[in-house]
Structure 1
Amino acid sequence: MSGRDTVLGDIRSALADVPGAEAPDSDPVPHDPRSQQAGLDVVGLFIERAADYRATVVRVAPSDAVAAVGRALGRTGAKSVVLPPGFPGALVPEGPWSRLEDTPPLTVRQLDAADAVLTTVAAAIALTGTVVLDSGPGQGRRALTLLPDQHVCVVRASRIVTDVPEALSHLPRDRPLTLVSGPSATSDIELDRVEGVHGPRTLDIIVIVDEQGTDTGLSGRA
């Protein structure tokens, strides 16, 4: 028996209990899959999934956001912090670190020597625990989040959506997108995990949730 015969035989076996009158389009996919996820706690799910990827995630009220950023930087002992253009000044804590503005653009050597970078996000995806950057205000060019050893990412709850299709439907199509799920990591030939090879070894995510509740959709972006 050929390999082709084996594969086709397995397919026939798998379909043996499917009614003959059933067609591939008998169960149409809903036009709006999000309707099946109504009531989903996207903030809680995003925090859970992002933590699964070894990111350090905290949920804070707006009044505690700047302190949370300071705690993240203090935990790693950061001495210098890169600030992309448009990053909210109110979210930059005072501390023993120097501030490196990327205007004019910092050199590769300067970025490589920096301990941390602060950014906002264009979107965050609950089902995958992913943050998305599109080089917009507060996010900066891609090099800023590749070279410093720590990435502190501020995520407003209104930026969290359910899944990838929903996120892409709201994001600009004329900007490069960077999707980040956890700190940079790879495995060598022995399958030993090594972090920080292709980007920051430490990812801190600060999720800001309004005390009065939150709009969980990019249509209400702020």
Structure 2
Amino acid sequence: MITLDRHRLHWPDCRNVRDPGGLPIAGGGTVRERSIVRSDSPHRLTAEGLAALRAYGVRRVIDLRATDEAARQPSVLAGEAMYRLMPFIDETADPARDLADLAPLADVYRASIIGNAPHVAAAIAAVADAPPGAVLVHCTSGQDRTGMLVALLLRIAGVSDEVIAADYAYSAVCWDRPGECEPATIRAALDRVDERYGGVEAYLLAHGLTEPQLERLRTRLRP
């Protein structure tokens, strides 16, 4: 049993800010702290929250929202050199749009993680190429697009699917929304990647990530 409360960070007024550092790696060790941070959209940050972000050593911000989302609610960091807007979803050909309105969320994740693979790999590459320090990854709520991207990063680090699923599900605690972020949902996305590509690394390499970038990710995420 892992305790996730200690991974939560206090950055007013964001509610879903966490550092996966300290999560156990299968075979021994833990994810490096202050390597990646996951959050909801920092357009909500107060001056105190922004100061906390800077004090935590964030050196790159990767915004996974769509361009129209970012335009409606601009990040407080949008004018800074550290900021990158890298939409997770293909804004012209998202395969999840073809699903029925009431499709299970697991089906949406399965379609999204495969159909948006080039965008996903580009965002992962931006993590690999970031300067030393913490990389903040966020979308709007910090649970769906961020959840999928962080799950891939944690797989690269060597974290087990059980722990990845627990970390994903913790967003429901942060938002106080029982019943959301079921562990089976993120596992469905990872299973689809495994079925199609034989693993996360092969999936990313097939869509533009390079071996040196993959090695830099391992170095960033592992002590």
TM-score norm. by structure 2 comes to 0.25
TM-score norm. by structure 1 comes to 0.25
More helix by share: 2
More strand by share: 1
